[in-house]
Structure 1
Amino acid sequence: MRCRDLLFVTLSALALAGHARAQDTPCGGEFAAFVDGLESEAVASGHDPDTVRRFLAGVRLDPKVLQSDRGQGIFQTPFIEFSRKLISQNRLDRGRAMSEQWDEVFDRIETDFGIARGVLLAFWAFETDYGSFQGDFNTANALVTLAHDCRRPDIFRPQIFSAMTLYERGDFDPATTTGAWAGEIGMVQMLPKDILENGMDGDGDGHVKLKTSVPDALMSGARMLSGLGWRPGEPWLQEVVLPPDLDWSMTGLETTLTVAEWERLGVRAREGALDDGRFEASIIIPQGRGGPSFIAYPNFRIYFDWNQSFVYVMTAAYFATRLDGAPVYDAGSPDPGLSGAQMQDLQRRLSDLGYDVGGVDGILGAGTRAAVRDMQSKLGLPSDGWPTRDLLDKL
């Protein structure tokens, strides 16, 4: 499955939205005029005029990019179903083979950045199937198309100028560079600005080639995670067993206790022991109290700087534990969830009641989960953040 073709833009890109300048080219309107505005803006910011003209000479509006941007319904899928779709025996076997084949590179990453190999292997698997499919969208067209579109223009406009800088360095060709629909490039799918800031020459050939060099791609991905705040040598996610009398309103990323405090409440590791009792952690039950349960350590939150989708983050973090030797989670017997249409109905009702659910999109994200948990508590239901038909009916 080509998962990265459907991923949300990284939060590191979203952070750029606050840096729009007064002279930014307005989105929308006639495409050729928009490109002319980008050219003027690039020259005004210091890029060579001839280089800018060559970079923008062939850019085209790509309707398929917009279709992909609007078509992210896969993230409506619950965690158990989503994770079973993405995590196959083949991906596990290939991941272990890749770990052995590139053992020296992963050892360097663990030494230099303190990031376990399973973490990078999981991203590598989900983003491009270990490099086998890196996307066939023209990257320059994708970035300019999404900057012209008025849904999230300030996210993508800075990426165009970063791509120009890569072009000036000889590391980007606007005619031939391809990647995912949202402009990510290479085996672990990085945006141009992330490549400028975190690209590493892992194989020592003097260039950063994220599409063709495994060492470059993995080392660059590790450096990016490190820059986002990954805590070296620490865990990220672990399956746990919860006591039946746990206060379910304490679950979710909004509540953080020390590991020792969770242990005193009866939380236990499903296998082995929990990590350092001084670590702060949250309890996550992605499909409510009847489904699988996990303890999320501080590094888990870094995943959301790579991707915003809760179900993707949960699956990537869990797959990383599997690649590092963890067993298959206990799926339990979660209550049936809502369909996409029912979820949208629920989100509309919660929004009408004043909750910020992050948009009516049918996706059970952090805002919707928090609203569900609060409403469950008010209605006398177990406040585990998992929306059911019973909740919808009571609303």
Structure 2
Amino acid sequence: MFARRRPCRRPSPDLRCRPSGRATFAAFAVAVTLLPSLAQAQCGGSFSGFVRGLKDEALAAGYGAATVNSFFNGAAQDPKVLKADRAQGVFQKPFVEFSRRLISNDRIQRGARKSQELNKVFHRIETTYGIDRGVLLAFWAFETDYGAFQGDFNTRNALLTLAHDCRRPDLFRPQVFSALELYARGGFDPARTTGAWAGEIGMVQMLPGDILENGVDADGDGKVSLKTSAPDALMSAAKMLSHLGWQPNQPWLQEVTIPADLDLEETGLLHRKSVADWQADGVRAKSGSFALRKGPAALILPQGHKGPAFIAYPNFDVYFEWNQSFTYVLTAAYFATRLEGASVYDAGRPDAGLSGGEMKQLQKKLQARGHDVGKVDGILGAKTRLAVQKEQARLGLPADAWPTPALLKRL
């Protein structure tokens, strides 16, 4: 299971939900939009006082006292949630190591079996949303090992703990109210609903707000059951990806080879050119032809010009709405291509990278030179990559955005 690192694209993903009955979530959304005191993501202080404030907001939004009191009854901070939130060291691993850790022959074989077992469901998804089954199988595998490990954290308490914590209250505070709305609709048990430490629920790990907006009863039993129904979980995930901007029946990632004289400053997610232009520069599909000729594409070198190389098509960007870790996103997108029949990537012989401690040193040095690298966390994210690329170009090093000990020494 991997926690979402994405922010909400809207103030809350539930603004379009209009539940039945007197207490509407839309009313709460309007209140948050109009009242500055509610719109601000308050956090910290006494946990009991924080919960009282949430209860007052829920009552002001129109929820009944009995519903509010029942939902928050027994609410408690979970220190294990905070510990998990602070210990995401797995994202510090480079792509080759990370992907080899997550992708195994067993997972590929089980993915093939799941594809056959749920062929009708995947065919319906492909017809309705134009999303290849490999994309969903990869998420399903990485998030919960095809539903086997969905997490045992109390979801309400996890959301309250993270909303109270002042690191990302803007993400988790709205999810508390989404969970309350699910409870009001009969689709959430505050005492018994469990999931990942970051509040995601079910086989593909969706936040309560995403369930409200995109939950689908695919098996026709009258309920959206993301924990026990694979059809519901997969169809809901497909609907969410579609709403996030997935272009139907379009590719997302493809392995390529690059020439020795490629202008490396043009690589990376922030630089886009047409596939025809990349071809003119000597970039070639590793096998077959390019999956898409028109439209912008980025050339990704996750471990520099001596390592693997991929062309990222527009659908690749949608992955970052699911998770903001570059390493996770690239691994999930690559695994999806493997499940669709692609060959194992050529790892090449990339230069040695940096340890987590060295990466933090690098980020501090980059900050000292005026670069915005975000939080100094030892993770090679998009901002750090861009800063590295700029410094490499300034120093006359190969500007492939892969930080090495040589670069750290030069800085």
Return the TM-score normalized by structure 2. Answer: 0.93
Confirm or deny: 8 A CA contact 2:77 2:161 kept in the other structure. Answer: yes
> Deviation at 1:22?
2.7
Q: Does the C-alpha gap of structure 1 residues 360 and 156 become closer, same or farther in structure 2, counting only changes over 3 Å?
A: same
CA distance in 2, matches of 1:90, 1:356: 41
Q: Deviations over 1:102-142 (max 9, x none)?
A: 00000001000000000000000000000001010000000
Q: Indicate whether 1:170 and 2:189 are aligned.
A: no
Confirm or deny: 8 A CA contact 1:13 1:155 kept in the other structure. Answer: no
Name the aligned partner's letter for residue 121 of structure 1.
L
Q: Indicate the residue corresponding to 1:160 in structure 2.
A: 176
Q: Indicate whether 1:30 and 2:46 are aligned.
A: yes
Confirm or deny: 8 A CA contact 1:237 1:294 kept in the other structure. Answer: yes
Question: Structure 1 stretches of 5 or more lacking a match?
Answer: none
Counterparts of residues 160-309 of structure 1 (less than 5 Å): 160-309=176-325
Moved more, 11-20 or 288-297: 11-20
Q: Deviations over 1:234-271 (max 9, x none)?
A: 00000001111100011101110111111111111001
> Deviation at 1:13?
6.6
CA distance in 1, matches of 2:110, 2:403: 36
Confirm or deny: 8 A CA contact 1:284 1:293 kept in the other structure. Answer: yes
Name the aligned partner's letter for residue 275 of structure 2.
V
Confirm or deny: 8 A CA contact 1:135 1:180 kept in the other structure. Answer: yes
Q: Indicate the residue corresponding to 1:12 in structure 2.
A: 8
> Deviation at 1:9?
3.2
Q: Deviations over 1:314-353 (max 9, x none)?
A: 0000000000000000000000000111000000000011
Name the aligned partner's letter for residue 243 of structure 1.
P
Equivalent pairs: percent with the same residue? 62
Q: Indicate the residue corresponding to 1:140 in structure 2.
A: 156
Q: Deviations over 1:175-218 (max 9, x none)?
A: 00000011000000000010000000100111100000010000
> Deviation at 1:26?
3.1
Q: Indicate the residue corresponding to 1:75 in structure 2.
A: 91
SS in 2 for 1:319: helix
Q: Indicate whether 1:119 and 2:135 are aligned.
A: yes
CA distance in 2, matches of 1:320, 1:357: 29
CA distance in 2, matches of 1:301, 1:289: 22
Confirm or deny: 8 A CA contact 2:5 2:325 kept in the other structure. Answer: no
> Deviation at 1:31?
1.2
Confirm or deny: 8 A CA contact 2:163 2:170 kept in the other structure. Answer: yes
Q: Deviations over 1:300-327 (max 9, x none)?
A: 0000000000000000000000000000
Confirm or deny: 8 A CA contact 2:254 2:291 kept in the other structure. Answer: no
CA distance in 2, matches of 1:271, 1:363: 32
SS in 2 for 1:11: coil
Q: Indicate whether 1:391 and 2:407 are aligned.
A: yes
SS in 1 for 2:222: coil
Return the TM-score normalized by structure 1. Answer: 0.97
Name the aligned partner's letter for residue 321 of structure 1.
T
From 44, 64, 70, give the equivalent of 2:60: 44
Q: Does the C-alpha gap of structure 1 residues 14 and 346 become closer, same or farther in structure 2, counting only changes over 3 Å?
A: farther
Name the aligned partner's letter for residue 267 of structure 1.
V
> Deviation at 1:8?
3.4
Aligned residues: 391
Confirm or deny: 8 A CA contact 1:259 1:275 kept in the other structure. Answer: no
Name the aligned partner's letter for residue 209 of structure 1.
S
SS in 2 for 1:295: strand
Question: Structure 2 stretches of 5 or more lacking a match?
Answer: 14-28
Confirm or deny: 8 A CA contact 2:81 2:198 kept in the other structure. Answer: yes
Confirm or deny: 8 A CA contact 1:12 1:306 kept in the other structure. Answer: no
Confirm or deny: 8 A CA contact 1:11 1:306 kept in the other structure. Answer: no
